Amino acid sequence: GQSLEQPSEVTAVEGAIVQINCTYQTSGFYGLSWYQQHDGGAPTFLSYNGLDGLEETGRFSSFLSRSDSYGYLLLQELQMKDSASYFCAVAYNFNKFYFGSGTKLNVKP
Amino acid sequence: GAVVSQHPSWVICKSGTSVKIECRSLDFQATTMFWYRQFPKQSLMLMATSNEGSKATYEQGVEKDKFLINHASLTLSTLTVTSAHPEDSSFYICSASRVSGGAYNEQFFGPGTRLTVL
């Protein structure tokens, strides 16, 4: 089976940097994705790591270490609009994902 | 590109009725579509995977006779919640995947359908 652990809630101030960690256990592994979800909305894709290392997309970066079964999402220059839930999701099959329980990020002024 | 729509965006129905939710990939052909449900402040739980022209594959614990999935074309999948009960009230989200040039199928999510069963 699959299991994912990520913090339930993180609080940071505008302009700061925050890191959301995700550790996983899975019977198959193709990659780790990160999604953002605002209250009442659908998840939107942020990033995907299939190989070890850092992927950077603007203010967001994601890191993966397959040997440690660990990844993180790094958000820089936090803005109020970044307040949302962030889910890591492991691709345990070619096209199937198992989602973590989500981390609620609160950005304060 | 890669837009997925869902209809309706919300629905309220009486207990015992059936509700159909449509998921469409608007600008690409989806190799596979997925149906998730999400309870408030919880994660997305995969319900089933559907491929065009074949039977859906349901995750463990999901009643296939209650949640009927039809994948009529490469751009349309429907989920019918049959004989809905209040415990079926949830946020139902579909996603559509397409090959992303590697060993990975990128998924694009629809806006979700909020179902409330009275």
A24 touches B at CB < 8 Å = no
pLDDT band at B104 (very low <50, low <70, confident <90, very high): low
Q: How far is B111 from chain A (nearest CA, A)?
A: 5
Q: How confident is the model at residue B32 (pLDDT cuts 50, 70, 90)?
A: confident
Residue B91 pLDDT exceeds 80: yes
Nearest-by-CA chain B residue for A33: B106
CA B96 and chain centroid, separation: 9
Q: From the list A42, A50, A98, which residue is nearest B112 (CB)?
A: A42
DSSP per residue over A7-31, as a string? Answer: -SEEEEETT--EEEEEEEE-SS-SE
Beta-carbon separation of A44 and B106 below 8 A: no
Which residues of chain B are at the A interface, by a Cβ-Cβ cutoff of 8 Å? 31-32, 34, 42-46, 49, 93, 97, 102-112
- The per-residue pLDDT of chain A, averaged, comes to 93
- CB contact set of A42 (below 8 Å; sequence gap of 6+): B93, B109, B110, B111, B112
Shortest Cα–Cα distance, B98 to chain A (Å) = 9
Nearest CA in chain A to B42: A101
DSSP string, B55-99: --EEPTT--TTTEEEEEEETTEEEEEE-S--GGG-EEEEEEEEEE
pLDDT at B97: 83
Cα separations in angstroms, B106 against A46, A49, B55: 11, 12, 22
Encoding tokens for residue A31? 């990659």
Q: What is the structure's pLDDT at B15?
A: 96
